[in-house]
Every structure is written in C-alpha cells, then in structure tokens.
Chains A and B, each alone.
Chain A
Amino acid sequence: EAQVTQNPRYLITVTGKKLTVTCSQNMNHEYMSWYRQDPGLGLRQIYYSMNVEVTDKGDVPEGYKVSRKEKRNFPLILESPSPNQTSLYFCASSLIRGNQETQYFGPGTRLLVL
C-alpha cells in the first residue's frame, strides 16, 4: 500500500531535550516536505526536499533541522525543543514537484513540549 508513515504519532517531551520525528514514504517520491499545523493558521511549511541531499527552508524553519540521506526518509529534528514548537506536524511527499503534483500526507505527529 502506498503510504507516508510518521513516528511517533504522539510525543510529550521537555524543553531542551533533542527529539527526532521520522518520516518515510514507499512511493519513490522525489519531493518531501514537513508542515506544522496550528489553530487558525492552517499549515505552514518548515522544510522541503527536492531530492536526496537537497533541502531548503520553508516558511518557518527556525528551531528545526532535516536531512535527506535516502530518498524514502526525511526526518525532522528538533535539537532543543521549546514550548512554542508544540504543534501538529505533517510529513508529505509527491512524485516530482511539491506544487503541481498531489501531495500525500502522513497521519500526523502531535507534539507537546513542556
């Protein structure tokens, strides 16, 4: 089954404790992206990747890191989480480009930073 998976689905952590949210897709998609969703703000893009070893900042990259060592994986790293990073996070992928092609979304990761 074609899908985007994220882990963990729920995470409670404390300020400053490094964490990684994994994202994996099995569709051989080139484009992958991370969003955060906050009430009243819709989705905001954090980082995106056009292909392996190619990553770029989205609208709200501060406090986040990503890597794209393999085509299928695109982990989101929070080196020193802060309470303002409490949010719902989505990973998405698409075949060629993130705009023209339909994006496939993961199930979301709900993060609470205390």
Chain B
Amino acid sequence: AQTVTQSQPEMSVQEAETVTLSCTYDTSESDYYLFWYKQPPSRQMILVIRQEAYKQQNATENRFSVNFQKAAKSFSLKISDSQLGDAAMYFCACAYDSNYQLIWGAGTKLIIKP
C-alpha cells in the first residue's frame, strides 16, 4: 500500500529561525509527485510547494524549500526566516501516475513563537 508518514505531530520554532518538517513515503512507483500543503486556522488548503520525482533539483519557493531524497523516500520541508503567518498545519502528499488520488500524511502542526 502507498503511504505517506509525517512523524512529527507538532513542531515549534522561534520567529525568524529555520524549521524543517519531515515526510517519508512508501511506494514502488517510479513516477510520482510530491506536495506540501499549508492549512492555516482559516482551514483552507494552500499549496506551498511541489516536486516532481524525476527532477533531481530540489524545489524552492521563496522561504520554502524541500530536501528530496528519492532513494530514502524522504521529502522534508524547510522554512527559513519563520514568520508568525507560517503558523498552520502542514500536510505532505504524494500523487502517482498509476491512479488519480493524492495520498496524504496526517499533518504537522507548526507553532511560531514570537
């Protein structure tokens, strides 16, 4: 079965510092896509960053970057210069070519300390 695991239910970081959220996945597929979504208190789901598995270069979006380790099946999210507005639930998700579903992790709650 294809699974996505986020082992950190909650993380906290001081404002302006850097934090890394972990995500691992399990698949035998060769072609897939990885996503990080943010869910602020408003509960809306917002795409943070996306990575194609066939690309070796790690995706980056402003203060957000990923460390994609394909062999280890790891896809961590690094948030630099953390801001109060980054406080949210963060979900890791994986999508496969063989079906039309996203497989989701359980989420990590990120707390930003002022």
Contact = CB atoms under 8 A, between A and B. Distances in A.
A48 B45 contact: no
Interface in B1-45: 4, 9, 32-33, 35, 42-45
A74 to B, nearest CB: 14
A108 to B, nearest CB: 5
Interface stretch (B69-77, B79-87, B93-101): B93-101
B101 A59 contact: yes
Interface size class of B (residues with CB under 8 A): 20 to 34
A65 to B, nearest CB: 19
Contact of A108 (B44, B91, B100): B44
Q: How large is the interface on A (under 10, 10 to 19, 20 to 34, 35 or more residues)?
A: 20 to 34
A102 B101 contact: no
B50 A102 contact: yes
Nearest to B95: A99
A66 interface: no
B24 to A, nearest CB: 14
A102 to B, nearest CB: 5
Contact of A58 (B43, B50, B95, B101): B101
Interface of A: 31, 40-45, 48, 50, 56, 58-59, 88, 90, 92, 97-100, 102-103, 105-108, 110
Given A48-B101, A105-B44, A106-B44, 20 more contacts: A41-B106, A42-B91, A42-B104, A42-B107, A43-B45, A45-B102, A50-B100, A56-B100, A58-B101, A92-B45, A97-B100, A98-B95, A98-B101, A98-B102, A99-B32, A99-B95, A99-B100, A99-B101, A99-B102, A100-B97
